[in-house]
């Protein structure tokens, strides 16, 4: 499962490095009895995947403004620090937010 997940670097059958990691494997048995925890784990990487897609395609929000001194990698590092400090960073509001993004991207 770890090998298929590709978090350590994904390559195609020709050995070329993939642009993005779109695969998220979750140990289903680990989350039996907790639908919330399962949903949380399954959706954990989705926001970063959406951001990566739009960055690669150079699609930015209409009101996009460059913030001096911060880039995507800095943002990711800050998010990881918050996750480490707060324990479980993801919550019900995050899941609602992800649902809204998915709705807007695919159904608008």
- What total number of domains does the chain contain? 1
User: What tens digit of pLDDT does each residue of 13-63 get?
Assistant: 787 777 776 777 888 899 888 888 888 888 888 888 887 788 778 777 777
- Give the C-alpha separation, 75 to 80, whole Å: 9
Lookup: tokens for 94? 């995050």
With tokens 């997940």, the residue in question is 5
pTM of the predicted structure, to 2 decimals = 0.49
């Amino acid at each position: 499962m770890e090998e298929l997940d590709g978090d350590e670097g994904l390559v195609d059958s020709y050995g070329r490095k993939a642009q993005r990691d779109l695969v998220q494997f979750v140990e289903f048995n680990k989350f039996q009895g907790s639908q919330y925890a399962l949903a949380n784990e399954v959706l954990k990487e989705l926001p970063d995947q959406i951001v990566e897609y739009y960055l690669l395609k150079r699609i930015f929000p209409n009101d996009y403004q460059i913030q001096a001194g911060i880039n995507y990698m800095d943002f990711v590092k800050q998010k990881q620090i918050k996750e480490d400090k707060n324990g479980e960073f993801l919550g019900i509001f995050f899941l609602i937010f992800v649902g809204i993004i998915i709705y807007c991207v695919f159904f608008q």
